[in-house]
Amino acid sequence: MGEMLAETERATGAKGIGKSAVTSGNRTPTLAALGISKRESAEAQLLAELNDEDFEKIKSGRKTKSKARKERKVLRSLELMKRAAAMMTAAAEKSILEVCDVRHCSCAELFGAGVRPDAVITDPPYPEKFLPVFSELALT
């Protein structure tokens, strides 16, 4: 029942105008017309969204619907946060690349090309044999 309700087109109602605004052409049944309460609909849809393991736990009494509802809410929040973070990361990366000249090279190559950067990011510590690289950077 929950899967069917989740896929069913929603009845639009009067959209705050009153019963007179509901057209007789609206053939989408309401929950009341189907003999289902809003709570029954919500719970049926919750159960339909569960994986088989969680459904069996609820059925056997090892897990409550309340706990499943809370877990679903947390998972949805995590999914939304991941999507938002991915969008922000992509936007930030795009804006950084629009205003920054990012290069992956040695200081000698950079300065040899005539580039005088505002900032150089390195990831030391390096072995002693790389100390001349820092000398090049210090001289500029």
Q: How does residue 73 score in pLDDT terms, banded at 50, 70 and 90?
A: confident
Q: Are residues 13 and 81 in the same domain?
A: yes
Q: How many domains is the chain partitioned into structurally? A: 2
One domain for residues 121 and 59: no
Range of the domain at 126: 107-139
The percentage of residues in the chain with a pLDDT greater than 90, rounded to a whole number, is 8
Regarding whether 46 and 18 lie in a shared domain, the answer is yes
- Distance from C-alpha of 43 to C-alpha of 46, rounded to nearest angstrom: 5
- Do residue 135 and residue 79 come from a single domain? no
Q: What is the pLDDT of residue 12?
A: 66
The residue-averaged pLDDT of 96-123 equals 80
- pTM, two decimals, is 0.42
Give yes or no for a cis peptide into 132 (omega within 30° of 0).
Answer: no
The answer to whether residues 7 and 76 belong to one domain is yes
pLDDT 10s digits, 76-108: 899 999 998 888 888 887 777 777 878 888 777
**Residue 90 exposed, middle or buried by CB count within 10 Å (0-12, 13-18, 19+):** exposed
Regarding whether 121 and 63 lie in a shared domain, the answer is no
